[in-house]
Structure 1
Amino acid sequence: MADQPIQIVFLLFPGITQLDFTAPAQALCRMPGARIAGAAASLAPIATDSGFSIVPTHDFASCPAADILCVPGGHGIADALADPATIAFAARQGEGAQWVTSVCTGAFLIGRAGLLRGRRATTHWAYTHLLPLVGAVHQPARIVEDDHVVTCGGVTSGLDFTLTLIARLKGDMVAQTIQLAIEYDPAPPFTGGHPDRVPAAMTAALKARVYDAAAGRMEAALQAAD
């Protein structure tokens, strides 16, 4: 019997971190039955944080109902939080989805849509202290599952979460076969990648250069939304 179709909807917005979207999409599109949709406010190209744009497959009005909703992150999240149409789309799709998921700061969009209240969740390490602003309880982990809601840490963790979800849906063998197909065999040149594994001075310098201001913008956006 053919695999039942599984509609996967990615919520897209200007300023998205492209790997938050493209890494999960690359794995999920290989799952039997998968149908991928990238939905945005319009069909205009979406500028990513990498200097190129991506083209949505649907606008919010034409997007099919999600079996799996996935919301990537990016510095554009702060602006997306101020867009009622984006929040309404996330809430509407999340209410009917079998799985509600986020990568990195995408957690704040599903949180603003009311999908994280009272749930354990995670996000990029530089923003975890803001999770209570959307009613979530931070759980220190790369992937956090709370019933049908799955959140994960920053950027590269999206691929780990995706393989975990595929295993839940289709079994370990399917997930491992997809991992093999995309040759996801991590062997990074350094042991860092999280504040727990790098010198404190490195984390402090990065926060001062990038994330203190970014977290401030996120906090202001969340408070303004309230």
Structure 2
Amino acid sequence: MATRVSTSAIAIGMVLFPNLTQLDFTAPYEVFSRLPHAKVYLLAPTIEPIYSESGLCLFPNTSFKRSPALDVLFVPGGLGVNAKLEDAAYLHFLKTQGEHARYVTSVCTGSLLLAAAGLLQGYRATTHWFSMELLEMFGVETVADRVVIDRNRITGGGVTAGIDFGLVLAAQLYGEMVAQEIQLWMEYNPAPPFQSGSPQTASPDVVENARVEGKSLWETRRQIIQRITHC
């Protein structure tokens, strides 16, 4: 993996929005917060409080206007993606920062926002299993892996993949030894009580129930993407 060891602070920008999935944000944040010589910016149009889809209150520390040029651009996913898919100012910020960032990254459906900003054209990427088809509507080649690296684009799968993603990025920035030490301190040694963490391992009944529960959100999002991509 690429290694970058420097005494100068790496600027990591985590771009927030209302109704994001909190673990999409907090899982990689936990890794980022342990990186040596890194400055994490919690970015939003203003520094007013933002609430996750589960009601967790988050406080941005930097507005878009005051954001420095970012080494790492990161976007989480969540229910609030729908509104941001058609937010021209929000997408412009992503595009402007992403065009010059060393790494352009996302977890879960944050990849839909990267795609809407034109930052995944010609790249392979992943997203939440339930949104693969939606990401493909942007012309993106999807890969059903936990973390996908394509040049300087690094995308993570759904929600809990944020930890894996964070560690992969840590290794890219500082080398595998640093990433492994962070993993050890976090005691990230998953042993899930059920084997239902993906459509490939979950029972057909569990998968079908999940699809039924998410159908309305999926269809609304599909219509938005169809509208903005004219496909």
Instruction: Return the TM-score normalized by structure 2.
Output: 0.94
Partner of 1:58: 62
Once structures 1 and 2 are overlaid, which stretch shifts more, 49-58 or 150-159? 49-58
Does the alignment pair 1:112 with 2:109? no
Instruction: Give me the identity figure in percent.
Output: 42
Distance (whole Å) between structure 2 residues aligned to residue 30 and residue 173 of structure 1: 13
Q: What SS does structure 2 have at the residue aligned with 1:100?
A: strand
The answer to whether the Cα contact below 8 Å between 2:22 and 2:56 also exists between their aligned partners in 1 is no
Alignment partner for residue 214 of structure 1, among 192, 198, 217? 217
Partner of 2:177: 173
The answer to whether the Cα contact below 8 Å between 1:119 and 1:137 also exists between their aligned partners in 2 is yes
Partner of 1:24: 28
Alignment partner for residue 74 of structure 2, among 38, 47, 70? 70
Partner of 2:226: 223
Partner of 1:82: 86
Q: What SS does structure 2 have at the residue aligned with 1:50?
A: coil
Distance 1:89 1:2, change over 3 A: closer
Q: What SS does structure 2 have at the residue aligned with 1:194?
A: coil
Q: What SS does structure 1 have at the residue aligned with 2:106?
A: strand
Letter in 2 for 1:100: V
Partner of 1:95: 99
The answer to whether the Cα contact below 8 Å between 2:126 and 2:157 also exists between their aligned partners in 1 is yes
Q: What SS does structure 1 have at the residue aligned with 2:193?
A: coil
The answer to whether the Cα contact below 8 Å between 1:39 and 1:57 also exists between their aligned partners in 2 is yes
The answer to whether the Cα contact below 8 Å between 2:109 and 2:127 also exists between their aligned partners in 1 is yes
The answer to whether the Cα contact below 8 Å between 2:16 and 2:60 also exists between their aligned partners in 1 is yes
1:132 Cα offset (Å): 2.1
User: In the comparison of the two structures, how many residue pairs are matched?
Assistant: 225
Instruction: Return the TM-score normalized by structure 1.
Output: 0.96
1:52 Cα offset (Å): 2.0
The answer to whether the Cα contact below 8 Å between 1:16 and 1:72 also exists between their aligned partners in 2 is yes
CA deviation profile, 1:67-89 (whole Å, cap 9, x unmatched): 00010000100001111111001
Distance (whole Å) between structure 1 residues aligned to residue 123 and residue 215 of structure 2: 25
